[in-house]
Structure 1
Amino acid sequence: MSDRRWLVTFGTGLIILSVVLYVLHFLAFHDLYYITSYTLGDLAFLPLEVLLVTLVFHQVLAFRDRRQRKEKQNMLIGVFFSALGTQLLTYVSDNDPDRDRIRPLLMVADTWTAKTFREVAARLKRHPSHVRIDSVDLTAVKRFLGSREDLLLRLLENPMLLEHETFAGLLRAIFHFDEELQRRPDLSRLPESDITHLGGDLERIYGLLIREWLDYMRYLQKNYPYLFSLAMRTNPFDETASAIVA
């Protein structure tokens, strides 16, 4: 209420000041024609001014705000891949029965263009994202995800990432899978039906994780070449990957 009162007072003061200045101008020069024509000219320009301020200037600010928010989102996504995502993707992809077919497709290089990334992303949509759940050490995965629960919670609570729907979906899928594992005290004695259920959860994560990783690689290549260099050298789909520069 006080903000509204302040705006009304401020607006009224500006109007009164304008009237006083016009009166002073008339008293000094006795030129009503100039005052009238000048006022009409200002009124005629007012719609264009509103257009420029509310549309053009607003769009410029909105674009800048979106770019800043996108940058902050990608910083958080970078934290995710550094602390969790790359390791998880490496392990899960090693248990992909179609890994020999998909690995050559995901050997990202600095010569890739935006078109290359789009083509690979389109081909990934047809990849089944299967996981040999019988080969997965669920106890080790449980321990790994359990050690990263605080990070997952912080990322899920961040409103910036909630705006990124696909990445938020990935975080929810990982957190759900972690919760499934933590609620099973002994993962070595699960019935086949339960193992199949967990395999479905892991395959959901795998499909989302590949796409988000590829999108993040494209972002790094475009904006941070030095980070992209490390990401290429630690590519989860490269069997000879090493952070050491040869």
Structure 2
Amino acid sequence: MKVQRWQLVLGAALVALTLGWYALRWYAFPGTAMHNEMWRFLIGDMAFLFLQVLLVTFFLDSVMQKREHDEMRQKLNMIVGAFFSQLGTALLGEIARGDEGLGDVRGDLVPSTQWKPSNYAAARAAFSAHDPHIDLGACDLVALRDLLHREKPYLLGLLGNQALLEHETFTDLLWAITHLAEELEVRPGFDTLPAPDRAHLAGDVKRAYTLLGVHWIDYLAHLQSAYPYLFSLAVRTNPLDPSARAEVNA
């Protein structure tokens, strides 16, 4: 950590004031007995100084680190929330249309207000273990390409955000989506792709889809505990539930 000039000046001033006050006391109260008393208090204060250093180093430092961690976590949650609002939810729904086996795990992916942390853990495990078979024919690849092309500056901006350096898994998701966008952009069309290329492209879609689904589950868990009104809308527009409707019916 670089020491600022004002910190050096302040430190020197405080040391000078301390020495000045001790000198004033030394000359204002002459006598051997008084000076011995001053030495006794000075040595006692210095002995307690080590305990003060211990308290500041371990206790206050841990409190400050926890506060910084909480602030960073809050900032990350805001970034993730903005991502799903801007792109993530729509992208997840677009890819889910081509997941032929989604019905096998869909029952675990419909959150409600009754869900507890254990339900989210089960949903996360179910989607992580899910091996989606992506049918590119069921996906609108042109719409997917246009969506990602339109949001590519936003994705690159997120990748340059220093706050995401500590969120490695979310960064992996952003790279997977960015790579998928580039794969789609370099192909002039999708109707006559050879089978090996379709398999390659399906693998890129699958990679982004799996990471996206897991983060979406974590995102909903955060919304339920922190922003119930946002959670309500997210559940009613669940991209993995074809029966979801934005209108409130009950």
Query: What is the alpha-carbon root mean square deviation over aligned residues?
Result: 1.9
Q: Is the 8 A contact 2:98 2:137 kept in 1?
A: no
Deviation string, structure 1 residues 107-151 (Cα, Å, up to 9, x no partner): 111111112212222233321133122322222211121121121
Partner of 1:238: 241
Partner of 1:206: 209
Alignment gaps of 5+ in structure 1? none
C-alpha distance 11-121 of structure 1, shift in aligned 2 (>3 A): same
Residue identity matched to 2:167: H
| Mapped partners of 2:173, 2:4: distance in 1 | 43
1:94 deviates by 2.2
2:84 to 81, 86, 97: 81
Q: Which residues of 2 match residues 27-176 of structure 1 at below 5 A? A: 27-30=27-30, 31-176=34-179
| Mapped partners of 2:7, 2:244: distance in 1 | 62
Partner of 1:178: 181
Structure 1 position 219 matched with structure 2 position 222: yes
| Mapped partners of 2:75, 2:9: distance in 1 | 39
Deviation string, structure 1 residues 59-111 (Cα, Å, up to 9, x no partner): 21111111111111111111111121111111212221211111110111111
Partner of 1:192: 195
Residue identity matched to 2:15: I
C-alpha distance 5-132 of structure 1, shift in aligned 2 (>3 A): closer
The normalised TM-score by structure 2 is 0.90
| % identical aligned pairs | 40
Residue identity matched to 2:18: S
After TM superposition, the structure 1 stretch with the greater mean CA deviation from structure 2, 168-177 or 56-65, is 56-65
Count of residues in Structure 1 that have an aligned counterpart in Structure 2: 245
| Mapped partners of 1:64, 1:86: distance in 2 | 31
Secondary structure of 1:147's aligned partner:
helix
Alignment gaps of 5+ in structure 2? none
Q: Is the 8 A contact 2:105 2:126 kept in 1?
A: no
After TM superposition, the structure 1 stretch with the greater mean CA deviation from structure 2, 201-210 or 84-93, is 84-93
Partner of 1:16: 16
The normalised TM-score by structure 1 is 0.92
C-alpha distance 146-58 of structure 1, shift in aligned 2 (>3 A): same
Partner of 1:229: 232
C-alpha distance 3-69 of structure 1, shift in aligned 2 (>3 A): closer
